[in-house]
A and B are shown apart, each in its own frame.
Chain A
């Protein structure tokens, strides 16, 4: 159907440089694809058509005058609606922020604009990033481009689906317990969660402060490197962003993985996981060995407890971060309240969905008097044990390879039991608890054509090695080049 929109960002940039295309053409194509496909996929909450075309024209001019800003100049991107964009509504997937228009840009957004990236729109998500399917968006559900009856994963479902369906060249999502990696796996794209503190959280509407990280969805590894390069680096507005130098993420991409030590964690191959997923991941491991890596078994014995710890820590921090949504200064205010407290309670009841309420209640409970030590205190100690598991493993290996999820994209409405839904994140959560970087890359397909994700986990601030290994894998596999069988809706 289109040519420019099917390219990766780095291929597009090459066309711009060679004068074979201009940003306005690419943006126009992407917008046309959104018009044609998004009625079915429903990845976008807001499409910023005029803004995109205006920015495209500005980028055109820069290329004409021979002074482009860099590799992201003129590249059409989209952002999970959890990131504040000045003058553009940012809903966080929630009714309580349905009409909220931030007066400021998140730091990562400002950095992308400074690099010349062009915003196509804001993307659908589970409300306040709480969910694994995007079914908990207050507005509508996003559909998996590979099978529209299935979920794209969550909470960054829109961001994953947009890249999968070539409705954006690159997107940004966020990952607190797997919300980039899991939808990447379900939607057949690359999703990278950087080390905690690698990327600024200023302007990221907070879910769980000690776990949230912003990261890219991309069509291939080089694109992910491009995006990470633009957003990584300490930010004086975020005290938890770490002042570690940002390497050139593209520099060593093609160096290969000869001699690399890969750990295979026993605890990540569990009973009840989808046998096709297991088979695909084991095949991938063999592929990596074929490229020169040496694998050995490692053990991460506290993996299971990690899930329990997460479901104390994340809701606790979330209940606190969401206390501000009260109808006073911004967002929804419920009408007909008798007094202030009534206004608070009615507003939050009307503005929050079921999953959010559930986690706010859980979080409030575990922080309430008498329960702190038993739950939150204990969970933070469990976190230390999870972190030590990884530290011990990384004494012997350089990267850990594992499945991203125990299964593939499930049908909408299939996982109604919250606990069932939470178990989806069992392979991704420990990485957030330990603050380590993790990437999910396309690692195969099921017999019925559903994507399977392969996860690589690295040491803190070792994204370069993660990307190098992923790149090596993508040189000898073609999973990442496959496109979903989407047809534009009949008019």
Chain B
């Protein structure tokens, strides 16, 4: 919904949980599903006397991401303490980065526009707060610190987004990069990728920004779009009636489809930032950045363009096939193996993707049909051994069993019949059986031919080579 009178200004803040094996500042496992408070130690639980130690891989993931979104990595950067009291904060300060973040000033392309990225920095996640019912009514809460200390990468965009659609597109593009780099699994529903938005309206033409409102609790692309749509309507209504927009934080309520104010007073936290005295600063030299750059995989947008160019795929096809690095790798392996990229694309898009999601690298890798098997199936079709229809059945059998196409075709005798002698007999039988249809054909109904082909296919359990069948019918049918 776009408003003529007001321009929407949106900035997005994304928190991505990094896929490191261990936490940001200690050696506890950073995985999920463990019993509460079993993946903690004095460091991540903030016990007296504990000290943090930086996880090198988390820094590398940060550098990799920074390069992928065109940020300038700050040679000298350091951690800082951000103070606020909350039960899920083990130390009542979070080790984050403030004045000297890891990277700044990047950009991310959406459609034809570039969205500016203000900064990228690293910090530690907080624990999980649990309560019965809503926070507002719960008489007590409980805390599980397993998640405390998991590495988070915070990426803050510049306020360059101008609509909820753009916001969703930005998120999608950013997520694709994070998943491609394998630095984050991008799961918004589970919270491994979180998004907060800052949104304000200003009269068209005004340079000054309007009062911005922070929106939290949007845990899917859909929710982001819906929440921002709602906010635009709410703020527009307020501005039209002369009401002041309060600078505040609002939570998206997906059930009631509204944003709800979180704080009654407008006040900013005094985080009392100061440089983390327990951690020496980082000095990210060019040699380190170059080493990370050398390990960067081809990014989604570049790969998409190359698929269109190298394999003559449509934009739509290239888009889906590059949604996951695993799927893109799969496609390319099969395309190169068979020499028939278009055919491979069809089979992957129409058949394989019925079984696995495009962006699930693990499922793609675990697929019972590796690229080489798909290549084998296509070859059997190419050399006439089986028809296209049989091939679809064979594909399904291959998926259930993990066998090659050759093995299945051989064992079940699915080889296509192309022998003219045998097919001639079948054709004669069909023609004899369907005299009326033959008359229709003589009378000019070309569609009758298709029916007769179908009957021959049926009579041969689909094994007849349809091309040969077609030719024989045409030869034997009386000309009209």
User: Chain A: residues with CB nearer than 8 A to chain B?
Assistant: 83-84, 90, 92, 97, 100, 102-104, 106, 201-206, 208-210, 236-240, 316-317, 320, 323-324, 326, 328-330, 340-341, 344, 364, 367-369, 372, 376
B49 touches A328 (CB 8 A): no
Contact assessment for A238 and B51 in the assembled complex, using a CB-CB cutoff below 8 Å: yes
Residue-wise interface mask of B (80-93) relative to A, using a CB-CB cutoff of 8 A (1 in contact, 0 not): 01010101001111
Closest to A212 in B: B277
Interface centre among A210, A324, A326, A376 (most CB of B within 10 A): A324
A367 x B272 contact (CB < 8 A)? yes
When A367-B272, A368-B270 are in contact, do A204 and B279 touch as well, CB less than 8 Å? no
B371 part of interface (Cβ distance < 8 Å): no
Q: Cα distance A369–B82 when bound, in Å? A: 12
Is the beta-carbon distance between B278 and A102 smaller than 8 angstroms? no
Please state if B42 and A103 are interface contacts (CB–CB under 8 Å).
Answer: yes
> CB-nearest residue of chain B relative to A364?
B272
Shortest Cβ distance from residue A442 to the other chain B in the assembled complex, whole angstroms: 31
B266: min CB distance to chain A, Å:
15
- Whether A323 contacts B93 in the complex (CB less than 8 A), given A202-B49, A202-B50, A328-B87, comes out as yes
- CA of A444 to CA of B264, assembled, Å: 65
Q: Indicate if the CB atoms of A84 and B90 lie closer than 8 Å.
A: no
A372 to B270, CA, bound (A): 11
Contacting residue for B47 out of A102, A201, A372, CB 8 A: A102
- Given contacts A90-B48, A239-B279, A367-B274, 8 further A-B pairs with CB under 8 A are A103-B42, A236-B53, A240-B280, A320-B83, A323-B91, A326-B92, A329-B45, A329-B143
Would you list the 3 A-B pairs with minimal beta carbon distance, nearest first? A323-B92, A209-B277, A367-B272
Whether B48 lies near A206 (C-beta < 8 A) is yes
Q: Are B46 and A369 in contact (CB under 8 A)?
A: no
Give the secondary structure class of B's interface: loop
**Residues of chain B lying within 8 A (CB to CB) of residue A344:** 85
**Distance (Å) between the CB of B281 and the closest chain A CB?**
11
The answer to whether A237 and B93 touch (CB under 8 A), given A210-B277, A324-B46, is: no
16 contacts across the A-B interface (CB closer than 8 A):
A102-B42, A102-B49, A104-B42, A104-B47, A201-B51, A202-B51, A203-B49, A203-B50, A320-B83, A326-B85, A328-B87, A329-B143, A330-B48, A367-B83, A367-B272, A369-B272
Cβ contacts under 8 Å, B93 to chain A: 320, 323
Closest-by-CB residue of A relative to B45 is: A329
Counting chain B CB atoms within 10 Å of each CB, the highest count among A90, A205, A236, A320 belongs to A320
The tally of residues in B whose CB lies under 8 Å from a CB in A reads 30
Task: A320 to B54: give the CA distance in the assembly, Å.
Answer: 19
The verdict on B52 contacting chain A, using a C-beta distance below 8 Å, is: yes
For the complex, give the distance between the alpha carbons of A330 and B48 in Å: 9
Q: Say yes or no: B53 contacts A320, CB within 8 Å.
A: no
A324 touching B91 in the complex, CB below 8 Å, given contacts A97-B48, A239-B53, A329-B46: yes
CB distance from A461 to the nearest CB of B (A): 16
Min CB gap A210→B, angstroms: 4
C-alpha spacing A97/B45, complex, angstroms: 16
Min distance, Cβ A237 to any Cβ of chain B, angstroms:
6
Closest chain B residue to A203 by CB distance?
Answer: B49
Residues of B near A100 (CB, < 8 A) are 48
Q: A239-B54, A240-B278, A317-B277 are in contact. Are A324 and B92 (CB under 8 A)?
A: yes
A84 and B48 contacting across the interface, CB-CB below 8 Å:
yes
Q: Which of A90, A209, A323 contacts B85 (CB 8 A)?
A: A323
Q: How far is the CB of B103 from chain A (nearest CB, A)?
A: 22
Chain B residue nearest to A128 (CB atoms) is: B48
Chain A residues contacting B274 (CB-CB under 8 Å) are 316, 320, 367, 372, 376
B279 partner residues in chain A, CB cutoff 8 A: 239-240
What is the minimal beta-carbon distance from B128 to any residue of chain A, in angstroms? 14
If the complex has contacts A236-B53, A239-B279, A240-B280, are A323 and B48 also in contact, measured as CB distance less than 8 A?
A: no
Bound CA–CA A447/B83 (angstroms): 51
Among B50, B51, B280, the most chain A Cβ lie within 10 Å of the Cβ of: B51
Residues of B contacting A376 in the complex (Cβ-Cβ under 8 angstroms) = 274
For B269, the closest partner residue in chain A by CB is A369
Proximity bits, B276-288, A CB within 8 Å = 1, else 0: 0111100000000
Chain A residues with CB under 8 A of B85: 323, 326, 341, 344
The answer to whether A340 and B280 touch (CB under 8 A), given A92-B48, A102-B49, A369-B270, is: no
Inter-chain CA distance A138–B92, complex, in Å, is 23
Interface string of B44-64 (1 = CB under 8 A from A): 011111111110000000000
Q: How far is the CA of A277 from the CA of B186 in the complex (A)?
A: 68
CB contact between A323 and one of B49, B83, B280 (< 8 Å): that residue: B83
Residues of B within 8 A of A341 (CB): 85
A83 CA / B50 CA spacing, docked (Å): 11
From B51, B81, B143, contact of A239 by CB (8 A): B51
Whether B52 and A328, one on each chain, are in contact in the complex, defined by CB atoms closer than 8 angstroms, is no
The CA of A203 and the CA of B42, in the complex, are separated in Å by: 9
Inter-subunit contact A324/B90 (CB<8 Å): yes
Instruction: Indicate if the CB atoms of A330 and B51 lie closer than 8 Å.
Output: no
Q: Looking at the assembled complex, report how far the CB atom of B139 sits from the nearest CB atom of chain A, in whole angstroms.
A: 10
Q: Is the CB of A102 within 8 A of B48?
A: yes
**A329 lies within 8 A of B90 (CB):** yes
With a cutoff of 8 Å between Cβ atoms, the chain A residues found around residue B278 in the complex are: 209, 239-240
Task: Identify B280's interface contact among A202, A239, A329, CB under 8 A.
Answer: A239
Complex Cα spacing A209 to B91, Å: 14
Tell me the nearest residue of chain B to A242, going by C-beta.
B280
Q: Smallest Cβ distance from B410 to chain A, in angstroms?
A: 60
Contact with A along B101-115 (1 / 0, CB 8 A): 000000000000000
Asked, given contacts A324-B92, A367-B272, whether A237 binds B83 with beta carbons under 8 Å apart, the answer is no
Expressed in whole angstroms, the Cα–Cα distance for A239 and B51 within the complex equals: 8
**B141 CB, min distance to chain A CBs, angstroms:** 8
| Distance between Cα atoms of A344 and B90 in the complex (Å) | 13
CB contacts (< 8 Å) of B90 on chain A: these are 324, 329
Residue of A nearest to B48 (CB): A205
State the Cβ distance, A363 to closest chain B Cβ, in Å: 9
Distance from B64 Cβ to chain A, minimum over Cβ atoms (Å): 23
